[in-house]
A and B are shown apart, each in its own frame.
Chain A
Amino acid sequence: MITVSGLSKNFVLHNQGGAVIPVMRDAALCVAPGECVGLTGASGAGKSTLMRMVYGNYLADHGMIRVGNLDVAQAAPRQIIALRRETLGYVSQFLRVVPRVPTLEVVAEPLLALGHDRTQALARARDLLARLNIPERLWPLSPTTFSGGEQQRVNIARGFAHAYPALLLDEPTASLDAANREVVLTLIEEAKARGAAILGIFHDEAARVRVCDRVVDVTRFTPGMVA
């Protein structure tokens, strides 16, 4: 479902003397449907960079990033927009939303964008928020004022609202208590069971061991580092 090969990237800082910083060399990995692959490596090795490139958030200089039938490295913006709407979900570490939009709408939005029936979309959002222990009295409020942990759970609910065939998870269990961590791990296991291909970053080692079928050490792809 996700295949990366020969992927390379430099950052060029034009306003800092044109410094060229190589961040990725010949990265390769694949994730099959129903499989969860964890990215490992020290901080700064390029885990998030690789994940952002798969999402189309960072540009690739060379190589291929195939998600479903699309090569993200070559795709036009509107193809990536369609891919993100239908196929590729992403739970980032930070929630970014339009202020004032109620939590329930924030979570239902991916389904509404796909043209799902409003009643069903909201029902799915309620179900996820309840499972993630967000108190019902918070649902009509904007998540911008929530605590860090609550925002993260809203972000997770939003990321799991639609049954994406491919899913990127950036530290989904960070800053969660034991009960909520368990809910998130169960959501990941359910997504795998329905056939989702998942690529994740988990600093939480026990979580990684539990949900990941394999790990890929990105240090192998870090220029100037020997694995």
Chain B
Amino acid sequence: MTPLLQVRDLTKHYGARIGCADVSFDLYPGEVMGIVGESGSGKSTLLGCLAGHLEADRGQVLFDTRSDGPRDMRAMSEPERRMLSRTDLAFVHQNPRDGLRMGVSAGGNVGERLMAVGARHYGGIRAQALDWLSRVEIAEDRIDDRPSAFSGGMQQRLQIARNLVTGPRLVFMDEPTGGLDVSVQARLLDLLRGLVREMGLSAVIVTHDLAVVRLLADRLMVMKSGHVVEAGLTDQVLDDPQHGYTQLLVSSVLQV
């Protein structure tokens, strides 16, 4: 099987400071990989470089495209990259305001993505938007409301619907449950797990919440000062951490 994503020596500096350095990994279809590390460890920088939001200094990000097999996203032309982001990639921001259009209705937020990949039939778009709102548990009668009238948890679910409606193959998530209270987090975790399995999605999830990665991610990378210090099966890394930093991270979690 060909990996969906092959990352080689991905490096980005901010001037003299390291953002992330020499990151390499393979991600296979249907796999969920978590990236953990403290603030400033480079996890969001890495995610930005993978998603093409940030320009890396060097390295390769090979994506297994539907038509031409693995291609380096960094070497693609701008229109190619944009088309790939619309059809195959999705990005869920920590703050839903960064991923939603706040002045457009909930239905519009979802439908807009369908139109961007060529859908034109209004009835069809609205029906699909309704279907997705129900999948993320937003009531049908809220379809014409703007996201600014939604709670934080609802906004996050709407952002997920907007991102997944086009059937992407790879989803990047930056602290998707950050800033939500725990009951809302649990609901979101349940939703994400179900979607990943039903759609066969691959995902890269950045978080600092070890409980979230244990439940969502198959594999885990631990970052410190821009470097990956440890990687492996999620439960193995959390239960038998090898690196001093990971041991510190795991032993620092407060028990409830």
| Interface stretch (choices B37-45, B66-74, B213-221) | B213-221
Would you give the 0/1 interface string for A144-168, flagging 1 where the beta carbon is closer than 8 Å to chain B?
A: 0000000000000000000000000
Identify the closest chain A residue to B243 (Cβ).
A14
The prevalent SS among residues of A at the interface is loop
How many contacts between A and B, using CB within 8 angstroms? 59
| Minimal beta-carbon separation of A13 from chain B (angstroms) | 7
Contacts of B186 in A (CB 8 A): 98-100
| Minimal beta-carbon separation of B129 from chain A (angstroms) | 25
Tally of chain B residues near chain A (CB < 8 A): 24
Contact assessment for A81 and B251 in the assembled complex, using a CB-CB cutoff below 8 Å: no
Assembled-state Cα–Cα distance A81/B31 (Å): 10
Q: Does B240 contact A (CB under 8 A)?
A: yes
Contact assessment for B239 and A13 in the assembled complex, using a CB-CB cutoff below 8 Å: no
Contacts of B215 in A (CB 8 A): 96-98
Q: Does A80 contact B (CB under 8 A)?
A: yes
Identify the closest chain A residue to B246 (Cβ).
A14
Q: Does A56 contact B (CB under 8 A)?
A: yes
Contact assessment for B240 and A57 in the assembled complex, using a CB-CB cutoff below 8 Å: yes
Assembled-state Cα–Cα distance A122/B190 (Å): 18
Q: Does B79 contact A (CB under 8 A)?
A: no
Contact assessment for B239 and A57 in the assembled complex, using a CB-CB cutoff below 8 Å: yes
| Minimal beta-carbon separation of B194 from chain A (angstroms) | 9
Assembled-state Cα–Cα distance A72/B197 (Å): 25
Q: Does A70 contact B (CB under 8 A)?
A: no
Would you give the 0/1 interface string for B213-252, flagging 1 where the beta carbon is closer than 8 Å to chain A?
A: 0110011000000000000110110011011100110010
Contact assessment for A81 and B233 in the assembled complex, using a CB-CB cutoff below 8 Å: yes
Q: Which of B190, B193, B235, B247 touches A57 (beta carbons < 8 Å)? A: B235
Contact assessment for A57 and B218 in the assembled complex, using a CB-CB cutoff below 8 Å: no
17 A-B contact pairs sorted by A residue (CB < 8 Å): A11-B240, A12-B242, A13-B247, A15-B244, A52-B239, A56-B233, A57-B233, A57-B240, A58-B239, A59-B236, A59-B242, A78-B31, A78-B219, A81-B219, A96-B215, A98-B193, A101-B193
Q: A57-B235, A59-B240, A96-B214 are in contact. List 19 more A-B contacts (CB 8 A).
A: A11-B240, A12-B242, A14-B248, A15-B244, A15-B248, A52-B240, A58-B236, A58-B239, A59-B242, A77-B219, A78-B28, A78-B31, A78-B218, A81-B31, A97-B215, A98-B186, A98-B215, A100-B190, A113-B197
The 6 closest A-B pairs by CB, nearest first: A14-B244, A99-B186, A58-B240, A77-B233, A100-B190, A77-B219
